[in-house]
């Protein structure tokens, strides 16, 4: 994060110099390229989307190429913070071009701003204007806090609970599975987070040629795909209204596979792009500039949303770096992939005034040095058929990378060609235990299952309510304090954390047959009130009072049916008042 702070300081220094230079230039400029600018939003709220329109007295060959033209909004907040907000091209009208700015103010009070246009080696600055922001009570943007939690601007803590919604239904899949169906279903059932892809069949903002497997989009000659832009606008509106946070995978490994997505990739020299191969994509200067143009557009158009939980560069970039052979031959140099991620994460950090979280992902093979980039905030792997390893590997990878670690995908099986009906019950339990593994181990976003359609048909989505209930209790009890507690059991698997004064315990039976065991917790001496939580029924029941001695506390004869789980909450008797004791 030190590098992020240095970047922001450089941005503020640059801003001050440009403002001073711009003021002089504007005073002596009678033929400004900036014709006019208007504030569109009438009722401006803290953290709300505030839109501005700017009219430029010129049209450009490629208004998305910042080497040709770049328009920034230079903002001073009520507290004196200096922000540089990228603006984006909207459309041409007659002999002019119309641009927009979308801004989410973090402070209440009066802001001042001006626009700065760079074109043809010259800089033009508009007149200074102002707008006033009213307090909204919103929490703000999410940032990394520690290995357990994310944190809003206002200090409130957050843990992500949800799943992958990789894309909307393709033309051979159940048409019911649109964002309009999937996202409200998640929100209504307690989920607060999901992950989705930009790709040739879903949100194809940077794919002029779309997949044959989608009827939702058609090919386009535009630099950025109009239908993809429209759908992304709709998606962000849904996220904001449903209070769902999105990890946006801005590209996939398939885009760099010869014979696959590479053949339609705009970066491919065969399609008029600059890169001769997927390996060249990472080192070619013009390809890197194109990537920065793309990221600038994404930040300018959708960065305002507090519900972008994270920018993710690639889904499983290791699957493009390595071949699928048993020898896993390297096709793209690790150092080039790592250098690209460092350059691009530094770039987004320099232009994103909201400091959104940045991540990228691998399936199961390391890219040497990639996650070490300072502005990659969260390390991310995907895991299948090894869910039982999730707790140990969370600790291993968080320690290794020295930053929070997330399982962006997990599942009982990865191969959809298999008959999932034969492993449905196993998959259901795997889905549930993956969530509990995440909740009771140091990760700020709980493991996110794949196969969203399958689990929706299995009616698993309501289970998020149970996880969310315990998560909220943990955050409330500990105010962000999570202390792992030793708990011993035989035949059953158990985890415990202390949040504030309360102890939370999850017990899992990973076998198909009934298992029983005592649970022994290493907790402080004293009397405790015990409650049991049944996640299937989302119900609490009182189990009376237990005492902890020198050897800890024992919960006797815990029995669970096959592939089942149960939770216990222990509260020190001394911390409860008379009314609370009576209710227990």
End-to-end CA distance of the chain: 46
493 in any annotated domain: yes
Domain identity same for 11 and 90: yes
Q: pLDDT band at residue 193, thresholds of 50, 70 and 90?
A: very high
Q: Is the predicted pLDDT of residue 413 greater than 70, yes or no?
A: yes
Domain identity same for 273 and 398: yes
> What pLDDT shows up at residue 6?
55
290 in any annotated domain: yes
- Rounded mean pLDDT of 340-369? 97
Q: Of the residues 476, 503, 526, which one is the last residue of a structural domain?
A: 476
* Percent helix / strand / coil, the chain, rounded to 5: 30, 30, 40
Residue-number span of the structural domain to which 349 is assigned: 151-476
Domain identity same for 217 and 256: yes
517 in any annotated domain: yes
> What pLDDT shows up at residue 328?
77
142 in any annotated domain: no
- Rounded mean pLDDT of 435-463? 98
> What pLDDT shows up at residue 23?
41
- Rounded mean pLDDT of 204-230? 97
Q: pLDDT band at residue 543, thresholds of 50, 70 and 90?
A: confident
- Whether the CB-CB separation of 543 and 519 falls below 8 Å is answered with no
260 in any annotated domain: yes
Q: Return the structure tokens found at 538.
A: 């989302």
Nearest residue to 73 (alpha-carbon basis) of 94, 49, 101, 99: 101
Domain identity same for 461 and 513: no
More confident residue, 356 or 323: 356
140 in any annotated domain: no
From residue 143, give the alpha-carbon distance in Å to each of 219, 285, 343, 393: 36, 31, 20, 23
Q: Is the predicted pLDDT of residue 572 greater than 70, yes or no?
A: yes
Domain identity same for 106 and 63: yes
Domain identity same for 49 and 166: no
Distance between CA atoms of residues 274 and 259, nearest Å:
18
Write down the pTM of the prediction: 0.94
| Total number of domains constituting the chain | 3
Domain identity same for 100 and 216: no
Domain identity same for 96 and 204: no
Report the relative pairing of strands 82-86 and 88-93 from DSSP bridges. Answer: unpaired
DSSP state of 210: P
Q: Is the predicted pLDDT of residue 19 greater than 70, yes or no?
A: no
CATH number of residue 550's parent domain: 2.60.40.1180
pLDDT digits (tens, 9 = 90+) for 99-114: 999 999 999 999 999 9
Domain identity same for 526 and 410: no
- Rounded mean pLDDT of 392-401? 98
Domain identity same for 488 and 472: no
pLDDT digits (tens, 9 = 90+) for 22-72: 443 333 233 489 999 999 999 999 999 999 999 999 999 999 999 999 999
To the nearest whole percent, how much of the chain has pLDDT over 70?
93
Domain identity same for 460 and 535: no
């Amino acid at each position: 994060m030190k590098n992020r702070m240095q970047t922001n300081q450089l941005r503020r220094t640059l801003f001050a110099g440009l403002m001073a230079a711009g003021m002089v230039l504007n005073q002596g400029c009678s033929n400004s390229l900036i014709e006019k600018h208007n504030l569109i939003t009438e009722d401006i709220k803290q953290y709300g989307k505030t839109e501005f329109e700017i009219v430029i007295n010129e049209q450009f060959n490629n208004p998305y190429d910042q080497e040709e033209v770049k328009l920034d909004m230079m903002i001073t907040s009520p507290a004196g913070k200096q922000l540089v907000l990228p603006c984006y091209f909207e459309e041409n009208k007659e002999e002019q071009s119309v641009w927009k700015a979308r801004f989410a103010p973090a402070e209440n009070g009066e802001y001042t701003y001006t626009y700065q246009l760079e074109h043809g080696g010259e800089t033009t600055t508009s007149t200074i204007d102002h707008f006033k922001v009213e307090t909204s009570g919103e929490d703000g943007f999410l940032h990394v806090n520690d290995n357990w939690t994310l944190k809003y601007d206002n200090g409130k803590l957050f843990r992500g609970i949800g799943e992958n919604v990789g894309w909307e239904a393709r033309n051979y899949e159940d048409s019911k599975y649109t964002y309009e169906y999937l996202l409200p279903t998640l929100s209504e059932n307690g989920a607060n987070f999901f992950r989705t892809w930009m790709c040739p069949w879903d949100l194809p903002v940077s794919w002029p040629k779309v997949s044959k497997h989608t009827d939702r989009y058609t090919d386009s000659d535009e630099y950025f795909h109009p239908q993809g832009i429209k759908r992304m606008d709709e998606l962000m509106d849904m996220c904001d209204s449903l209070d769902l946070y999105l990890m946006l995978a801005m590209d996939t490994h398939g885009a760099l596979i010869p014979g696959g997505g590479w053949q339609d990739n705009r970066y491919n020299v065969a399609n008029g792009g600059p890169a001769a191969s997927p390996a060249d994509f990472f080192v070619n200067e013009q390809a890197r500039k194109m990537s920065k143009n793309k990221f600038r557009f994404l930040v300018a158009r959708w960065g305002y949303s507090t519900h972008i939980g994270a920018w993710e560069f690639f889904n499983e970039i290791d699957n493009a770096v390595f071949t699928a052979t048993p020898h896993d031959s390297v096709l793209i140099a690790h150092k080039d992939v790592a250098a690209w991620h460092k350059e691009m994460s530094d770039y987004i950090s320099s232009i994103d005034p909201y400091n959104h979280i940045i991540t990228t992902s691998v399936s199961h093979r390391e890219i040497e040095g990639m996650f070490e980039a300072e502005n990659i905030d969260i390390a991310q792997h995907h895991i299948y058929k090894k869910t039982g390893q999730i707790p140990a590997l969370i600790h291993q990878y968080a320690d290794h990378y020295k930053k929070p670690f997330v399982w962006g995908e997990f599942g009982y099986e990865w191969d959809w060609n298999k008959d999932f009906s034969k492993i449905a019950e196993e998959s259901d339990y795997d889905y549930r235990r993956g969530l509990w593994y995440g909740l009771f181990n140091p990760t700020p976003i709980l493991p996110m299952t794949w196969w969203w359609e399958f689990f929706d048909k299995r009616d698993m989505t309501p289970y998020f309510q149970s996880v969310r209930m315990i998560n909220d209790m943990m955050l409330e009890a500990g105010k962000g304090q999570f202390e792992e507690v030793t708990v011993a059991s035989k035949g059953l698997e158990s985890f415990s954390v202390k949040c504030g004064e309360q102890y939370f315990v999850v017990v899992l039976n990973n076998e198909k047959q009934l298992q029983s065991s005592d649970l022994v917790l290493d907790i402080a001496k004293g009397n405790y009130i015990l409650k049991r939580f049944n996640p299937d029924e989302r119900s609490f029941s009182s189990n009376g009072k237990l005492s902890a001695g020198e050897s800890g506390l024992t919960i006797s004869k815990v029995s669970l049916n096959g592939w089942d789980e149960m939770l216990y909450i222990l509260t020190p008797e001394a911390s409860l008042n008379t009314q609370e004791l009576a209710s227990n």
